[in-house]
Structure 1
Amino acid sequence: MCFDLVMKTVPVSKPYLLMSDVSPVEGSTMWMRCNLENGTGPIQYVWQHETRSGNISAFAQGNTNIINVTNINRNHTGWYRCVASNNVNSESSNRLWLDTIFGPDIPQIDVTPYSITERGVSLLCRSPVQPAMPQYVWFSTTPVYTGPQLTITKILRMHTGNYACLAQNNYLNTRSKKTISLTVYYPPDGSPSCSVEAALNYTTLRLLCSWPGGLPSPSLHWTGLGNQVGQDETNTAVLLPSEGLNSNSLFTCLGSHLALKQSTQCSTRTYIPPAEPECFAYVTNNKQYLMLSCSWDGGAPKALVWWEGPDGQAKGGEENSNILILRYGTARSGKPYTCHAKHPLLVQTKTCRLTLGQCTLSDTPDKKIANGSDVQLTCNLRSNYLPASEITWFNNQGVGVLDTSRYPMPPNVTLVSDVHSRKRNEVELEWQVENEGGGGWTVHPAAHMGVRATTKER
């Protein structure tokens, strides 16, 4: 008798999924197992992963019902199910949520400026972390705020500095930190300042525009120059050819800054000194030095003034005024001392001159004079000879016998004569005064040696 044994294939039952840890820490290891109550082998297992967005993909497969997952990361977070199949059927388990614990990562800080009028700033700190309940603490030199967003409603330059955001994962007792440097822009105080100066030996103009301070530095730009000179937004000094410029030319410098809504400006003008150069001379009180002074005041830029003497005496250039100092008695009489004045807006140099000379005697007696009697000697000075405030008389031996130091001679005055007394301690000075518009000089008491001064009007 023969028997045929027929094996019946049992379909797989609905599997159920087990995990060794449904909340693994990032970087750890865990296992998944797909359990079946019934089912004839061979059985194939597939593990499926479903993301938060609903995308489903095969995570692993094989003929064993358990898999090990090493180095868990945050991308493993999601829904998992297992599918069991044999030759008869295929069954899927229910979903099981895997929640990877991680973080916090290095935070990201976003800076959002308020409008310029509000002048505020907001710092937002964000760090990926799970569980998604991180704690944020802001630090400067000390803790300043707790929470993800730090807001400074009125930003000042004192707020410049480093700000750190500390993100904490209290579940894992982990933390991370990010530091940023906050720079507060602020404009310079006041407005730009403009000026003009001479350059290249007083043949060219240099326009200067200054506006110190501020962060970052302001942008300065000269306007109204046309094609006369090339420049860019950062130029604060430009050379400008003076040829063809008017005496009253206006130049404007425009200043702008990131922290200002509107630009500000300054202006400067160039002009020639209104008067002519002036020369005059005077002697120091101790009669050691003769000082020749030349001035040409005013003007923008200032003029350059220098002296040239007949024997090579010179005084280098100075602005507006210059004094040539000569030792008293060494000045060359009858020779001109020339003052030169140069301004960038003028092609030609202006000059003024001083001629130092001795007086000439007139009405000199040609006969012998009795001892003890009076004699009159007249010293004639040319009107353009300077200085006229010191007269010294010498005898035929070259020895000084009388010094008629006195107050400076009044304007429009010509010394006509000096008359000695027999005592030789008095001298009569006769002045001749130009009378313009009536009136004249009155008797002026002398200051030294009993000098008596009288005037004549014409």
Structure 2
Amino acid sequence: MPYGEPKCSAYATRNNEYLMLSCSWEGGFPRALVWWASSSGDMQGTSEESANILVLRSSATYSGKAFVCHAKHPLAKETKQCVLKLEAPVLVTQRSMMTVYEGSDAQLTCILSRNYPVTEITWFNNLKQHVNEIPKKYVLEQAAAWANLTVRETDSNTDSGDYWCSATNAVGGAEIPIMLMVKRYPMPPDISISKIIYNSRQRTDVDLEWELQTEGNLTGFFIERQRLPEPVKKRNSDLPWQKLADLDHDSRHYQINNLDPNGAYAFRVTAINHRTIGNPSEIKSPGENTYKVIGYQCISKHG
């Protein structure tokens, strides 16, 4: 007698063009006869010794259908069987919509609830591009029955939309959309410059202070400088701004050093809330400290 029980499996050729049903019950003498039949009992193909492969052209009509492998050996009283049930993929997801704030990673999950022969899950982004083509933006983790897609460092302008989970085998296919909404953080509060002065006669260092005009969430500030042209020395919105410093949310003052004493400058301060940039403050130029000299008069009286 052959050892054990007959074993059967199904797999597809490349691009799912053909479906291959394989059944084997090897060993023993003489060899066992193996043949395939439909669930209704109709024989498929011919009988072979020990192993039999049934080749079918891929078709969605086979989804939900069962094929039975029969194996008969002269020493066995009954015919042994192995049953395959073919199923097109069925996809589900735990969350059909996900919302994140921009800058964070978003993980989308897709699960195969039914699927035979086995196929892999593939993902497409919100532009219907295969995620494997953009490896720095997307991270794919998967097992036999699930696949997670991580969208890295999300951006509200480019990453929102439907992402597509897809699976196809030799008897059918399925895809489901998962909506990703990337929200911007709220606008930070407006600010105003409360003090901007040279702190010495050399005009190389400036003390800058600011305050919040309104309440709101913020994660930091940045300070910008504009070099005013000579000899006009007046503000021009077309001149470039140079970022001088990034500061934390508790900062309310900053000292600007190493300025050209013969130059003229304008400054502004802007609050940020993660990736959301607020409105710049009004543009101000530094004024000089006033140095006061106080004289004393001594009056002598006689008499």
TM-score range, shorter chain: 0.3 to 0.5
Q: TM-score by structure 1 length? A: 0.26
Higher relative contact order (CA 8 A, sep 6+): 2
Relative to its length, the structure with more strand (as a share) is 2
Instruction: Give me the TM-score of the superposition, normalised by structure 2.
Output: 0.37
